[in-house]
Structures are given as structure tokens and as C-alpha cells.
Structure 1
Amino acid sequence: MKKPIQKMHGANAIGGYLCNSKMIALIPLCFAPAVLAADNNINPSASAITLEPMTVTHKRSIANPLNTTEIDDKKVRSKQAAVSDTAKLLEDTPGVSLYGSGGVSSLPVIHGLSDDRVKINVNGMTITSACANHMNPPLSYIDRSNIGKITIMSGVTPVSMGGDSIGGTIAVESLDPVFAEPGKDILLDGSASSFYRSNGDAFGGSIAAGIANQNVRLDYTGSHTESMNYNDANGDNVQSSSYRNQNHAASLSFKSDNHLVVIKGGQQHIPYQNFPNARMDLTNNDSIFGNITHKGKFDWGSLDSNFYFESTKHSMDIGEDKHNRFLTAAGGGSFAPPNDYMPMESRGRNLGYKIQAEIPVTERDTFRIGNEFHSNRINDFWPAVHNNTSIPASQPANARAAYWMMAPENFVNLNNAERDRVGFFGEWEARWSPKWNTLLGLRYDHTNTDTGAVQPYNPNLLGGAMAAGAGFSLSAANAFNAKDRERNTDTFDVTALVQYTPNDLSDYELGYARKNRAPNLYERYTWGARKMDMAMNGAFGDGNGYVGNMDLTEETAHTVSFTAAFHEPKNSLWEVKATPYFTYVNNFIDADRCSGSTNGASGCDASNQTATERFVYLQYANHDARLWGMDVSGRADLFSDKTYGDFSTHTVMSYVRGQRMDGGNLYHMMPFNMKLSLDHKRNGWDSAVEMQFVDSKDDVQGIRNETTTPSYILLNARTGYEWKMLRLDVGLDNVLDKQYYQPLAGSYLGDRYGMNPTADANVTVPWGRNVAGMGRSAFVGLTVKY
């Protein structure tokens, strides 16, 4: 039996050679012009020798499949002024879309699979959201100013990149440490940046500073961002869209011969982040983390290891934009103070490690073996709004029955819930010939989950069993506590990739993956069955109420993916890539409308089964499902001139469909969407005009009463200039001030009190409204480097 209820606290051109990062062997030639120019006794034109053009290429490892996208620090910096949300750096990635959420907490979706189904590593750490509404997802824990590289694998993912996920993989890394060059004692470097965006009066800044010798480096990064509510194109204020966020991190790095050790630590403080598609708002989020990484090279290969710890204190309540506005108009009633508050607290902890060895056995064969462990703890409790044991005379008569709705004890949603996973994997990469490469991988994971006993607000039935459904809530808690709550899951993942390169023009890749994910703690162990309790557990932005299911089984996904990539081989003037895919998921964790209750406090009554234009109450359930779609991306150089600069274009197109095998669509499937950009570069200038098209969302899920959204086209423009130590960015998003609704932004809940999803619309949130997108917004950003 578990413990009792407790709290857890330029390329330079010379002689026909193109000097770039792929020509390591020719690096000295890149500096030849400077050397020649420095010597006044040499005439470069007289001594130059014209050679035939030559291209040196880098052979890509199949461990980074063709559908892998990398976003480097230069691309990250170019977007810092335009976005505050780290997840929005992924918007130009084929196959990736975003669930709308708070200002710094969007949830990535890869090929229709979202949230915990996507493996996200932040500097090697696996971080699980410690919130019933998933307001603190992994990418919210690192500011975009502290990112050096993002790697997105949007299709078949090698087993070495992580288990317990059936979607793709996103790996976020800070900049690698830079040490002083030989002969120099001290290296000092850093940067400072600031930005302003007109819509929402968003502003912020970041600072980075480092000091190093040849073997030791110390770094600090800090950032601050905040915004008021933004306005849509109609000029209406989108309530509950404001936020404030602060991040601090430090690292100490040691380099010795072929070894690198990096020790990181950091802290995050979010005093508030409001959510237009949730019934609650984040009123505080404090997190600390520690991380030790070692990378070593030996005669036999390489060994990488990572150990980490993360702790979160998370608070939610009804924010100012939702609080009391319509209660006063409705005359108070049962929701008069103090029952118009809904404090919720959670404490989360993540602890883990990963050790991986890469062993090149022969020139053809490379093996990777590894072991990882992740431990997650969540304590989720809802403090009582008062601890009186009798009703004060000041309480209105029409609210006396509801006085015990959230009192006098704490509601325990998850009691020291635990989820521990240990995994082992092995991979074999083989280069059979210059044209053929293969990758085979096998992985085993064991996942154990458990939780302690729970309790409702009013376990002693003060005011009687009928008072605010106290008796019904107590019965649900007793039934939950009577069960054996420990669950164990054993899963095997398999990955197989074959890559064929017939010539310099094309590459082909075919992959199959069998991937698994065990249920998370909220899917398995939330138990509250009253309308209000279920409404507080919802991570989907749909306004519906949810209850867990202890008998859920693991999801098993079978994915087949094919990628064809074509490129101009001589000067890389153009490239195009297409990836069709199909995924069949056994026991996909979706939801069914709950039923079988006649108690008035429960939403699981007969009307819940047939309701079409209202919010509903659901229980997590396993169903077989299938998803399919295609990603297309391409780029081309259009025109190059010494006077006017270089013009190019790039595009990204994605389409996905998802269906349950017993009928109906899956929730939040992104409709066809594309981006087309005209890009220009000249000296330090870097500009782009972008058109974004999103088709209407008509294939919606009836079980959740998901709403449709219309199609739209947006136009964005930006330009930037970079000097040696200074960069200036300006731009205009939604140039035409188009009113639009993002398909995955969810239901608009931001302007009203909404604890009871099916109450009178005069008191609570009406069904059928989508969150509006941001209207026209100008931005400016300035970065100084030294």
C-alpha cells in the first residue's frame, strides 16, 4: 500500500573552388585571399591559377534519416524577435504543427501525433508535464535565446533516440562550449538582445556571457519575456493570452584531450501565463534543473552519458480575465465567493540518465548500445477554498448547498504518483556500398506506474451527502482506493531503415518502425467524476471534461515511411523532398463519452451520450486507429547578382488524416497547409516575404464535438541586417490583418468563468467558439555580440 496523502514540495570563392563547411580539407584555401592581400609584394591576379570546379560532400549517417530537419543557431537567432514560444521555432518543419496553448507553451504535433507521443529531449533531459492541463510542456523549459540546435525527426526514429513514444523525436541542445585557442589565455564572449512586438505590447530581452581558457569555460544565460493580451484582426481582445516568463541558466565545461564534461543548472520563473483555450490559468511555475553530460572518444569508439534532475512547483487558478465577470451579472448564486476560485497545485520531479556507446567495428559496421532510465513523480492536489466546518451566516442562501463544493479539505487528484521507466537498446548501422546503407535497431522498455490513496474535498460529508455531490465524489474516491493501482508494462521497439543513393541527383529511404508508449499518469489515474472535477483535467484545449482509466494498455504504432530526395548535384541550386507515411496504432489512447450515472453531480448521464452542440464528459479509452499523410519540402536558387544579391525560394507542404477503426476521425488533425517564401540575401541583408495557406478543418471528431475552422491565407514579411557585432531585425506578421482561426488552437474559453462546462451559458463558457489568431503585428529586435 502506498504512503498516506502528502505534499511534495560566405562562402569565399577562389580559383573555382567553393569554400564551405563541407570542404574541411580545403579550409586553408578559404583564407588565401586574405593572406595574399596582406602581402603588398604579391599580385594575386598575376599568380592565380584557374582550376576546374570541384565539390566535396559530406556522407550523411543513416542514423539521421532523410526526414530529419535541423534548425541551427543562426536560424534560431533570426526568429527571436518574432516569437517567444520555443515550440514556434518548429513551424517551418515538414510534418510539424502546434496545439495552441499559452504564450510560451505550445505543444508540438508530428504527423498527427501530439504531446507525450512525441519524444522531446531538452539538453538530454526527459521532462514530463506536471499539470493536469499540460501547461508546462518540455519545450517551455528552455528559452529560444539559449538554443544552439534543434533536431526534428518527423518519421521513423532510431531506437537510440528514445523510447516511450510513437511519434517523432525533437532534440533541443544549447550551444556547444567554445574554448580559448592555443596560445591565448582567456576568451571572453557573449551577447545581449531585446525585442518588441506591437500586438500585445510584447517585449523582452536576453543576455549571455562566457569566459574560458583552453580547458575550462563558464557560461551564463538569462532571459525575460512578457506580453499583454493580443488582439485579433477584428480588433477584439483575445482574453487570457497574456504571460510573463523568466529563465536563468549557467554551465561549467571542462575539456581534456578527447573528453568533454558539461555541468548545467538553471531556474525558471513564470509568475503568470494565461490560457485562452483552458478553464484554468497558470498563476505560478517555478522550476530548477541540474544536468551533467560527458562525451568521450576512445580507441574503440565513443561513450556519451547524461545525468539529470528537474523539479517543478506549479500553481493554477481562475485568472483575472475569467474571474467573476459573468458571476456578478448572474447574481452570484452558487458560485458566489469564495467558490469562484479554483486553486490547483502540483509538484513534479524528473530524474534520469542515458548512457550510449558507439563502436565502429569495421569500416562497414557501426554498433550503438545503450541504457536509459527516467523517473517521474507528480503530486497533484487542489487546496480547499476555505476550511470552515460550518456555513457562515454571511454565505448567501442560494449558495449554501454549494458551500462544500471545494471545502473543507484538499482534493487529492494524484497522490505521489510515480512512473519509472528503464530501457535498453542496440543498433547496427551498415554501409554496404557507396549506394546502400541500412540501420536496424531493437529496444526494450519496462514501465512501472503507481499512485497513493486519494480523497475528495468533503470526505466527512459535511452538509450531507447531497451537498455539492459530496457523497458521489466520496464514492468515486473509495472505489479508486480499493483497487490495486500498480501497473507494469513491457514493450519492444523495432526500427529498420534502408537508404539507397543511385547517383548524385537522388536519395531514397524506406523505413519501418514498431514503437510503443505506456499511458501517462493523468491518463491512467485521474479519478474525479463530478462535472467540475472532470473539467479541471483536460489537456486538449477542447473545453471538455476528462476522467482517467486505470485499465488502459500501452499504444503500439506500426509506421511505414518512404522518402525520396532530389537535388542539383553540382552547386546545390535546388532540392526537393517528399515523404508519404502510414501509421497503424493498436490501442491508441483516445476517449469515449462516459455514461452510466444518474447522479446530478455527474456529467456521465444519458444526455452526455447524444449531445452535439455543447461540451461533454469523456473517459480515456483504447481504440485502434490509423494515420496517413505526406510531407513535401523544397528550395531553389532563383537569381544571383553582385549588385542585387541572391534570390531564392523555399516551400513546405503537409497533409495528415487520422481515423479510429471503429468509425470517426481522430481529434485535432491538421488540414492541408503550406508555406511559400521568397528569400533575399545581399551582403549583411537577409529578407523574406512569406505566404501561408491553411485549408479548412472539416474532418473533426464528433465524440469531442470538435468545431470546424475556415481556410485562410496569411502574408508575413521580415528583413534583417547583420554587422560584425550587431544584428537588427524588423518585420510585419499578418500583413493584411486577416481574421483567422488556427485549426489546432482549440475552443475559446478565455473570457468567462468555466468550472462547470454544461452550466447556463450566462454563467459559464458557451460552446462553439474558436480561439482567434493574432492580428497584424510589427516586431523589431536588436542583438549585440562580442
Structure 2
Amino acid sequence: MNRQILSLAVAAVVSDVALAEVDTDHSMVIEINRGLPYLETAVRERTTGVKAAPVADGGELLQSLTGVSAVRMGGRALDPVIRGQSQTQLNILLDGGYIHGGCPNRMDPPTAYTSVDSYDRVTVIKGNRTVVYGGGGSGGTVLFERDWLMIDEKGYNAELAGSYRANGEQWELGADLMLGGDQGYLRFIAHEGESENYKDGDGNEVNSKYDSQSNALLAGIRLGANTTLQASFEKADEEDVLFPGAAMDSPYADAENTRIKLEHQFTRSSLRQLRVEAYQSDVVHLMENAMMTSPSSSDTEGMRIVVDAHAADIDWTFGADLQNNDRTAVAYSTSSGMAAFSQWPGVEIDQTGFFVEGEKALNQNNVLKAGMRYDRVEASASRASETFGGSTPLSRYTHFYGVTETASDENNLGGFATWTHRLNPQYTLETTLSRSVRTADATERYIAKAPMMGAKWIGNPQLEPEKHHQLELVLATQREQLNGSLSVWYNRVDDYILRYRSAGNDLYRNVEATLYGIEAEISYQLSPVWTLGSALVWMEGENSDTDQPLSRISPLELTTSLDYQRAQWKAGVEWKLVAGQNSVCLSSDPECGGQDVRKTPGYGLVNLHTEYQASSGLIVALGVDNLFDRAYSLHESRDYLLDPDPVQVREPGQNIWLRLSGRF
């Protein structure tokens, strides 16, 4: 797939640094991932650390970006972590719509339902820098996007790709078929992937097998010179997925996504553009082990109306969005077939939001951008009073929290202000001050996992929403040979939702918390064909009520890369050093009762890749990840529950890979 089938627009760090006179054509386009996707950045600096090898899903791709980590529980479905925040602290949209997974234990985060090759662009916005894409988003926003197709004069395009990773015998096949012209198009995307168990750096087999398929049908029609209508239907199926970090596996997880988009360009008023988007995402999921089987469902529907305008010399974006999510999950005893407990007892969360955002160039050296957002949230659990396994979810909420009412409502107000100042032609300074409010999700509010024997996992229906107050300072530079940025951020959180362990049970409460960190990136053009890059990420997280560390905070990481590009050849080497994480809140420590598995040792990795692009459009790429077969785990990853020692799910050892792609 020789075209720009995937762009990773990293609006992290200083993505909005674009003064009125800056020509966006100066943005660097950086080829990554064996020439198939491209990295497109408005920051105008080389971003290091992007994975060159094939990836199983969007989570694995994001995990390789600077400042983005992940929680691994199995062979796929990595759950992204940005600046120490994850799950619903991140707004993740697939082609304009939300999808909430069907597993209370996060076997299927939204990125699990992304076939990377099927999207034209992925945008990552770190921190709270916009109010357009939903409430919350304190950790960041990730947009998997598809564009209106630009098809060759012949009226059709066909793109094929295939990859193979030796460790785990993992293979992926993809096809993207397009037909149409200026007035409309049809597009069919198919993807299939399969993997056996991989081995870690010590040669131990990790239960990571999976079988994945997805198909998407997209259509677009031009209703007039300035109006387009697009619709899509996508079905993703996961089968026989193994999760050593969950003590349960997933025989199936199926998602169906429907999207409709209407866009109209105005030509004779202060209005510039109208966008109306509607979506529906339905997920059915099953997890099981020898003792339990638990079917679940998660249905999400919503819409967004967005208007772009220009008035009073300000570029405006304003609109409204709606989102409704219904979830149900019941666990049954395998031996008796009787209901044992309900993880999600008929949970419904409705959100209605209104937002406005404006950007004004004060002069040639200063730009001010600000936005505000109001969200109304209503949550309830319609089956909380039903009996499952001899008791009701409500009785468990009452026992642990004294709660007698499961319904709640919130009125949340957030916003941001960004000042961008050009110090001189080489340096730009940006300051962002923001407040974002993140409501508790279905699991934090209502999970009622209560087996007859063993630990209980009980949500708190009356949790207060998190209020994140963030300050970020960014210094960016752009020169002929040198590009770089330094970002310093601080996040004070009121009513941080903390999952903690008490007397062996997992519970939730609100605490005060603080997160802060530094991200630095630099790229230097050594010669016309050689580029040296480096990125450093450091962060801390603290429970301010107890002065104890927050769980799953990424350790210090330094990534250095050397890339070669000449004519049809590309090659590169990446060296990643990750420090040990000793600042932990262990689940086994009764004084802390956090989610950390252990103090994680540091590690170093070397990855190699090369690529050749033939004149026919065929691209051949190959490489080796973890060249020296190091044994390591990501600090954020889940406990390998099949291991008697407290060890996170291990990462793959040495992995030789090959990828072929082409356009016809």
C-alpha cells in the first residue's frame, strides 16, 4: 500500500503550534511501519519511537509512540496509557464514533477493534487541548479517521498487504478495494490475522493465541458542489483469544459499527462548515474459564453536530454531542448454569454535551485558542435490585459503601486556554491551562463481582467525577537540520477515582492526586541520507491524600534512532532504554493496596528494520524486534495469573518479521 494509507498525526506536545503565517506544507511527512503508514506531524519535528514492525491492532501501534505506553493482558488488545492515564481517561474515537468494550476486565479496549490498515489517519492529542471530541479526555484524545477517497483517474484502486512475525507464527492479510470518482465512491476493506502463542526472551511460552477478522463497507456520494454524505458498516470478530493476565479467556468478541456523516461547506456567510455525524456500536463478548462463563454486551449510540465559522476575526468551532451506553454482564457457574453475580447490572450512562472553541491570531507572533464545554451525565443500574447468586448488587454497594441509591447525575464544566508565542524564527513557546471533568465509567460505578469464595470487586455508584487541572509549557524549535521540543506538564486532580485493594477486595474511592512529567524530542539531519533522533519521557504520579505512588506509572524511558533513506531504500536502528520502576503501589502491600504487580526491572532493546520500494509500487520490508532476545515486561501490564510469582505478562522475545504491500 504505497499511498498514505495511514497517517499518525501526533498532535502531542505542540500539535497546535501553527501561527497564522506558518505554512502547513512545511510539516514533515515521516515514513514509518515499513512504508505502509506515514507519520504526519504539524509539530514540524521528527518523532521517534514509532513501531516499524507489523502490529496486531491500534493499541500496539500507539504503544510505540513517545509518551504512550500500554497495559498488556494477552497477545493483542493492548490498552493504551498516555501520561499515566488510561481507559476512559482517554477519548478514543473510531471513524468519528465511540465504542465501549464488552468486557468488564478490559479484554477488549476500543483499540482492539481497529485494523490499523483500514484507517487513513490516526491523530493523537496528548493532554486536554480541545473540547470538541467529548467530555473528559484528561489524558488525551485518539482519533482513528477515514477520509473522503481520492481515486486515480482509472476509477479504481486496489491495495493489498501481508505480514508475518516468526515469534508466535503471527500473520496478517489485508485488502482495500476502492471504486468511484469525484461524485462518489464504494470501498471494501477486509482484514484477517492469526497468531499462536509467542515466546518471551527466556524461551517461555506466553498464552497469546488469537484469531481476528474484520470487514468494512464504506460509501460516499456528493449531493452537491459543497455537500457530501458518507456511510459505513464494519464488523469485527475476535475468536479464541487467550489472556494469561485475566485468569479467563475469550471464545469470541464481536463488534458491529455503523456510521453516517454529512458535511456541507458554506460559501457566502460567516459559517464555514457543518458536520453532522451519527454512530452506533454494538459489542457482544464472552469470557470463560473452567468455573465460570460470562456473556456480556455493550451498546453505544450517539451523534455530533459541529459548526465551523469565522466571525470577529476569530475561527470558531461550536456544537453539541450525545452519547448513550448500555451494558450488561452476568457470570454463570459452569457446573450448575446458575447466575453467580452480575458485573454490569443493566448499566446505562447518558451524556449530553455542548461546546465552543475559538482561535484568534493576535498578531504575527501570538495566537490565542480557548474552549469551554458543559456535560450533563445521568447514570443508573436498572438490575441492581435483582438477585444474582443469592444477593443483589445493591446489597453489595450498601455493604461496602453504605450506598442505597444507584442512580446519579452530574453537571460538568471544563475548558482550556492556549497561548502560542513565537520567540523568534527558530523558537516557539506554548502555554496551555485546562480543566477537564471525567465521569466514572460503568465498571467503576457498578461492577458487582462477588463470588461465593474469593475476592470481591465492587464498584461505587456515588463516585464523584474526576476534575483535572493541567498546566503545560512547550518549547519547540525548527531549523534546517535540527528540530525538537521540550514539554513540561503538571496535572492536579480533585476526586481522582482510585481503585484500591482492601482485605483482598477491589474497591473504589475518590482521592486527591498529582501527576507531572517531562517529554523531550529531538531530530538532527546528519547528512542528506542520515537522521539521528532521540526522545526522553519521565513522569510521576502520587496519591496526595496518603503520599503514596499511584499505580501503573510509566518509568523513565529514552529512545534513540538512526535512520537511513536514499532513493528506494530505507533502513533504521532503534535503541530503547527503560529504567526500572521502584516507585510502586503494590497490590500485595496492605499499606497501599494498589494495582502494581511488582517493582519492575529496567531493560534495553534494539530493533532493526529495512525497506525497499520497487518502481512497480511493491514494497518489501523486513526487520528484527528485540534483536538480543531480552526478557522483559512493561511495568503497566497485568499480573501473569498463571505464574506463582508476581510477574507481569511478558513481552515477546526476538521477533523476525516480513511485510509485503502493493497498490494496483
Deviations 1:444-492 (A, max 9, x none): 0011110122445543xxxxxxxxxxx7999638979993321101100
In structure 2, the CA distance between the partners of 1:458 and 1:529, relative to structure 1 (3 Å rule), is closer
1:584 correspondence with 2:584: no
Match of 1:6 in 2: none
Match of 1:128 in 2: 100
1:420 correspondence with 2:387: no
Match of 2:218 in 1: 251
1:229-244 equivalences in 2 (<5 Å): 229-238=197-206, 240-244=207-211
Q: Over aligned residues, Cα RMSD in angstroms? A: 2.6
> Quick check: which has more Rg, 1 or 2?
1
In structure 2, the CA distance between the partners of 1:70 and 1:703, relative to structure 1 (3 Å rule), is farther
1:437 correspondence with 2:357: no
Q: CA deviation at 1:106?
A: 0.9
1:735 correspondence with 2:627: yes
User: Is the CA contact (8 Å cut-off) linking 2:437 and 2:466 kept in structure 1?
Assistant: yes
1:623-634 equivalences in 2 (<5 Å): 623-634=511-522
User: Is the CA contact (8 Å cut-off) linking 1:719 and 1:730 kept in structure 2?
Assistant: yes
Distance 1:375 1:474 in 2: 23
Distance 1:529 1:71 in 2: 50
Distance 2:368 2:191 in 1: 43
In structure 2, the CA distance between the partners of 1:80 and 1:223, relative to structure 1 (3 Å rule), is farther
User: Is the CA contact (8 Å cut-off) linking 1:225 and 1:245 kept in structure 2?
Assistant: yes
1:681 correspondence with 2:652: no
User: Is the CA contact (8 Å cut-off) linking 2:52 and 2:609 kept in structure 1?
Assistant: no
User: Is the CA contact (8 Å cut-off) linking 1:69 and 1:151 kept in structure 2?
Assistant: no
1:523 correspondence with 2:457: no
In structure 2, the CA distance between the partners of 1:731 and 1:507, relative to structure 1 (3 Å rule), is same
Distance 1:82 1:426 in 2: 39
Q: CA deviation at 1:82?
A: 2.4
Match of 2:469 in 1: 558
Distance 2:23 2:379 in 1: 32
1:368 correspondence with 2:258: no
Match of 1:152 in 2: 124
Could you list the runs of 5+ residues in structure 2 that have no partner in the other structure? 1-16, 39-50, 586-591
User: Is the CA contact (8 Å cut-off) linking 2:448 and 2:458 kept in structure 1?
Assistant: yes
1:191-340 equivalences in 2 (<5 Å): 191-238=159-206, 240-255=207-222, 256-299=224-267, 300-318=271-289, 340=290
1:707 correspondence with 2:591: no
User: Is the CA contact (8 Å cut-off) linking 1:742 and 1:773 kept in structure 2?
Assistant: yes
User: Is the CA contact (8 Å cut-off) linking 1:292 and 1:308 kept in structure 2?
Assistant: yes
Distance 1:284 1:766 in 2: 28
Residue type of the partner of 1:367?
Answer: W
In structure 2, the CA distance between the partners of 1:177 and 1:73, relative to structure 1 (3 Å rule), is farther
1:773 correspondence with 2:656: no
Distance 1:637 1:383 in 2: 60
Residue type of the partner of 2:37?
Answer: R
User: Is the CA contact (8 Å cut-off) linking 1:180 and 1:214 kept in structure 2?
Assistant: no
Could you list the runs of 5+ residues in structure 1 that have no partner in the other structure? 1-57, 319-339, 388-406, 460-470, 535-544, 595-607, 609-615, 641-645, 753-764
Secondary structure of 2:553 counterpart: coil
Distance 1:71 1:124 in 2: 25
Q: CA deviation at 1:589?
A: 0.4
Distance 1:735 1:427 in 2: 47
User: Is the CA contact (8 Å cut-off) linking 2:20 and 2:361 kept in structure 1?
Assistant: no
Match of 1:720 in 2: 611
User: Is the CA contact (8 Å cut-off) linking 1:422 and 1:445 kept in structure 2?
Assistant: yes
Residue type of the partner of 2:198?
Answer: Y
Distance 1:627 1:508 in 2: 22
Secondary structure of 1:522 counterpart: helix
User: Is the CA contact (8 Å cut-off) linking 2:70 and 2:634 kept in structure 1?
Assistant: no
In structure 2, the CA distance between the partners of 1:619 and 1:779, relative to structure 1 (3 Å rule), is same
User: Is the CA contact (8 Å cut-off) linking 2:469 and 2:492 kept in structure 1?
Assistant: yes
More moved, 499-508 vs 75-84: 75-84
Secondary structure of 1:160 counterpart: coil
- 2:309 aligned residue (346, 354, 359): 359
Residue type of the partner of 1:730?
Answer: L
User: Is the CA contact (8 Å cut-off) linking 2:92 and 2:110 kept in structure 1?
Assistant: yes
TM-score w.r.t. length of structure 1? 0.75
Secondary structure of 2:199 counterpart: coil
Match of 2:482 in 1: 574
Deviations 1:18-53 (A, max 9, x none): xxxxxxxxxxxxxxxxxxxxxxxxxxxxxxxxxxxx
1:94-109 equivalences in 2 (<5 Å): 94-109=66-81
Match of 1:348 in 2: 298
In structure 2, the CA distance between the partners of 1:237 and 1:778, relative to structure 1 (3 Å rule), is same
Secondary structure of 2:59 counterpart: helix
Secondary structure of 1:710 counterpart: coil
Deviations 1:193-235 (A, max 9, x none): 1111110011121011010032010000011111111111111
Corresponding residue pairs, total: 618
Match of 1:539 in 2: none
In structure 2, the CA distance between the partners of 1:564 and 1:457, relative to structure 1 (3 Å rule), is same
Match of 2:7 in 1: none
Distance 1:708 1:95 in 2: 20
1:373-388 equivalences in 2 (<5 Å): 373-387=322-336
Residue type of the partner of 2:432?
Answer: G
1:485 correspondence with 2:406: yes
Secondary structure of 2:445 counterpart: helix
Residue type of the partner of 1:551?
Answer: Q
Distance 1:233 1:591 in 2: 32
1:664 correspondence with 2:552: no
Match of 1:21 in 2: none
Q: CA deviation at 1:776?
A: 0.6
Q: CA deviation at 1:314?
A: 0.4
Residue type of the partner of 1:370?
Answer: G
Match of 2:112 in 1: 140
Distance 2:23 2:322 in 1: 23
Distance 2:173 2:633 in 1: 29
Q: CA deviation at 1:170?
A: 0.9
Residue type of the partner of 2:593?
Answer: I
Deviations 1:234-289 (A, max 9, x none): 11111x21111111101001123122221111101101211121121111011111
In structure 2, the CA distance between the partners of 1:210 and 1:87, relative to structure 1 (3 Å rule), is same
Distance 1:774 1:64 in 2: 42
Higher helix proportion (structure 1 or 2): 1
Residue type of the partner of 2:233?
Answer: G
Match of 1:505 in 2: 426
In structure 2, the CA distance between the partners of 1:700 and 1:278, relative to structure 1 (3 Å rule), is same
Higher strand proportion (structure 1 or 2): 2
More moved, 774-783 vs 739-748: 739-748
Distance 2:530 2:393 in 1: 65
Q: CA deviation at 1:386?
A: 4.3
Deviations 1:670-724 (A, max 9, x none): 0100211100011111211000110001010142263011111100000011124
User: Is the CA contact (8 Å cut-off) linking 1:417 and 1:451 kept in structure 2?
Assistant: yes
Q: CA deviation at 1:341?
A: 2.6
In structure 2, the CA distance between the partners of 1:232 and 1:359, relative to structure 1 (3 Å rule), is same
User: Is the CA contact (8 Å cut-off) linking 2:397 and 2:404 kept in structure 1?
Assistant: no
Distance 1:195 1:302 in 2: 40
Q: CA deviation at 1:382?
A: 1.6
Distance 2:454 2:225 in 1: 57
Q: CA deviation at 1:735?
A: 0.7
Match of 1:784 in 2: 662
Distance 2:537 2:18 in 1: 27
Q: CA deviation at 1:81?
A: 4.9
Distance 2:150 2:101 in 1: 32
Secondary structure of 2:198 counterpart: coil
